[in-house]
Structure 1
Amino acid sequence: MSAGRAKAGGQIGQNGEFYKGGTFLPSTDNPKRTPTKRKRGPKRDLIAPGEFAEYPEGHGSIFMVIRNYVAFDRLADGTFGPFRRSDNAKAIAYQFGDGAMLDELIAKYNAGERFFPYPARPE
């Protein structure tokens, strides 16, 4: 059941609250809803396949930058980690230029680092 619109100049609705002229009036006695603020959780990012961690202010996840350009498998030394894929050379050239930065990030990731400062972060 519709209660219609408020009269010009405003009107008190069925729920006892004021409504500006032309706005829809409530058809219930419930109070107006107020927008709720979204509570942000801790700043988290993927640091490895399926592994999240909070990142320090001003830093980004190495994994989030390199994940589209690498494959994860057993490396030559027997550990599990990323290595550069050869099938996306054009994308690497577009994102990283000559690819030296990508190689540097892969080396840091393999050395155990998971975050790097933002100024070096390619967008």
Structure 2
Amino acid sequence: MRYFIKLAYNGTNYHGWQTQPNAVSVQETLEKALSLLLKNKIEIVAAGRTDSGVHAKEMFAHFDFEEAIDGDYWIPKLNSYLPKDIVIYSIFEVNAEAHARFDAIERTYEYHIHSTKDAFI
């Protein structure tokens, strides 16, 4: 069965979305938590990738798992395994051919450029 995950993250502590050697990524962190909880190696495919330090207010990704997953049950557990800067909002079953990257209908990017030092950024 294929599942979509709706998530958000603050990318400050990550070297982007995609797993890479010698650097911590959002994908790696999420895959480790899911694999631990579901007791299977889980690989995730995202709708897109972000660079080092970039945040995502709303990101979708998918993964395959042979058993039924009740999102209402697993979301709090998964969020408790994840660091505070990664949040899962929903997990839902989709068609086995659905693809988070290639079936996306829209992507929106916002760029915020600050030219002065700000203690709250």
> What TM-score results when the alignment is normalised by the length of structure 1?
0.22
Please identify the structure whose Cα radius of gyration is greater. Answer: 1
> What TM-score results when the alignment is normalised by the length of structure 2?
0.23
